[in-house]
Amino acid sequence: MATSGRSDLHGLLLRACERAGVELINDARVVSYENTGRGAGVTLASGEVHEAGLVLAADGLHSAARKLLVDDEPVSSAYVAYRGTVPAEQPRVQGLDLSEVVVHVGPKCHFVHYGLRGGELLNQVAVFESPRAVAGEEDWGTPDELDHAFAGTCDFVQEGLPFMWREKWWRMFDRDPIMNWVHGRIALLGDSAHPPLQYIAQGAIMAIEDGWVLGEHVARNRAADGTVDWDAALFAYEAVRPEHCRRVLTTSRAWGELWHLNGVAREQRNALLRARDTYDYAFVDWLYGPTALTVDEEPPMFTPVPLSSGGR
C-alpha cells in the first residue's frame, strides 16, 4: 500500500493546475450558486460573480451547493481524531517498518501509524469515541478525553500520545449517501457529494476519481469545434459515481463499527480475522480495482454483514 501526505498531494495538484493555466483565486468564499442562461454562476462573499458553462461545487462537508439538491445535515459519529508526525530519526520510530500501515483496534478507540515521504516521517492517528459527544455536550473531543480513552491501551500506543498535536483535533462527521449530484449545470464533486468517515481511507481518492470520471466524459462529449455537450457529460457522470460512493460511505460506517466492538462481538470479530487468509482481499476488491466509467464497469460488491451495536 502506498501512502501520501495530504500537503504533498496538495502540492502536486497545485503544480498541475498552474501548468494547465488554471486561474486560482485565493481567499474567496462562495456563498451561492445559480443556473444561468449560459451555464451556471457563483457569487462570492465579496459580491463578485463568476460564470461558466459548468460549475463544479467541491465545497466540502458544509457544502452550500448541496442545499440545492437535498435538505440534510452532517451526521456526527461522536468520534474524534488526533494526528501527529514523528521524524524518522526519533527513538519512537526505530525498528518500525514504515512501509506498513498498522492499526491497533480496541473498544471505542483505535490507533494507526504508517510512514510518509519515503520513510522520512511516521504519521500517527488516534481516534476515539467522546463521552461528552454521546452526552450531547458542545465541548467534546478535548485532550483530556484523548488521554482517558487510551489509558488502558498497550505501552506502544500510550507512548505515541505525547507526539499528537493537542491544539487541534478533528471531529468526525459524514453525511448520508445521495444519488442526485447534478442541478442544471451545477455538479457536486468530492466531499460536497459524499463526505465519508475515514476508516477505509477513501475521502481524497473519491474526489480525484470524480474529477477523472467527469473529465473522461467531457472528452467523450467534446465536438470537433471544441464545444462540449455538458448535459450529456453530467448525465454520464451522475449515472456511475453516486453508486460507488454510496458503497464507500456505508462500508466506512460498518468498518468503524467493526473496529470498535466490545464484549462478545469483539471476540467474534477477532476469531473471524484470525481465521482469514492474510492475502484474502475479497472484501475490498471492489474498492481498489479500476475506476468505473459506466455502470456496467462497476464491479460487484460483497454483501455487507450487518453488525449489531449491542456489544459496544
Q: Domain for residue 160, yes or no?
A: yes
65 pLDDT higher than 60: yes
> What would the pLDDT profile of 106-161 be if each residue is shown by its tens digit?
999 999 999 998 889 999 999 999 999 999 999 999 999 999 999 999 999 999 99
Residues 255, 182 share a domain: yes
Look at residues 113, 140, 174 and tell me which one is the last residue of a structural domain.
174
**What pLDDT does 5 receive?**
78
Between CA 203 and CA 172 the distance in angstroms is: 12
pTM of the model: 0.91
Residues 275, 187 share a domain: yes
Look at residues 174, 207, 241 and tell me which one is the last residue of a structural domain.
174
Residues 141, 15 share a domain: no
114 is catalytic: yes
> What would the pLDDT profile of 197-245 be if each residue is shown by its tens digit?
999 999 999 999 999 999 999 999 999 999 999 999 999 999 999 999 9
Q: Assess contact for 33 and 49: CB atoms under 8 A.
A: no
Residues 203, 168 share a domain: no
Residues 183, 164 share a domain: no
Q: Domain for residue 312, yes or no?
A: no
Q: What is the number of structural domains in the chain? A: 2
- 211: nearest Cα among 17, 37, 26: 17
Q: Domain for residue 206, yes or no?
A: yes
* C-alpha cell recorded at residue 84: 501527529
Residues 241, 92 share a domain: no
Residues in the chain: 312
What letter would DSSP give residue 225?
A: T
Residues 182, 86 share a domain: no
**What pLDDT does 100 receive?**
92
Residues 127, 216 share a domain: no
Q: Domain for residue 302, yes or no?
A: no
Look at residues 140, 156, 174 and tell me which one is the last residue of a structural domain.
174
Buried b (16+ CB within 10 A) or exposed e, 144-158: ebbeebbeebeeebe
Residues 150, 291 share a domain: no
| Position 309 confidence tier, pLDDT thresholds 50, 70, 90 | very low
Catalytic residue among 33, 79, 82, 114: 114
Average per-residue pLDDT for the chain: 94
Q: Domain for residue 231, yes or no?
A: yes
Q: Assess contact for 173 and 74: CB atoms under 8 A.
A: yes
Structural domain span for residue 152: 75-174
- Greatest mean pLDDT among 69-73, 113-117, 272-276 lies in 69-73
What order of strands is seen across the sheet that includes strand 55-57? 55-57, 186-188, 182-183
Q: Domain for residue 1, yes or no?
A: no
Q: What is the CATH number of the domain that holds 221?
A: 3.50.50.60
Q: Domain for residue 142, yes or no?
A: yes
| Position 310 confidence tier, pLDDT thresholds 50, 70, 90 | very low
Residues 57, 196 share a domain: yes
Q: What is the CATH number of the domain that holds 148?
A: 3.30.9.30
For residue 239, how many other CB atoms are within 10 A of its CB?
A: 13
Residues 244, 118 share a domain: no
Residues 274, 191 share a domain: yes
Q: Domain for residue 307, yes or no?
A: no
Burial label, 178 (beta-carbon count in 10 A; 0-12, 13-18, 19+) = middle
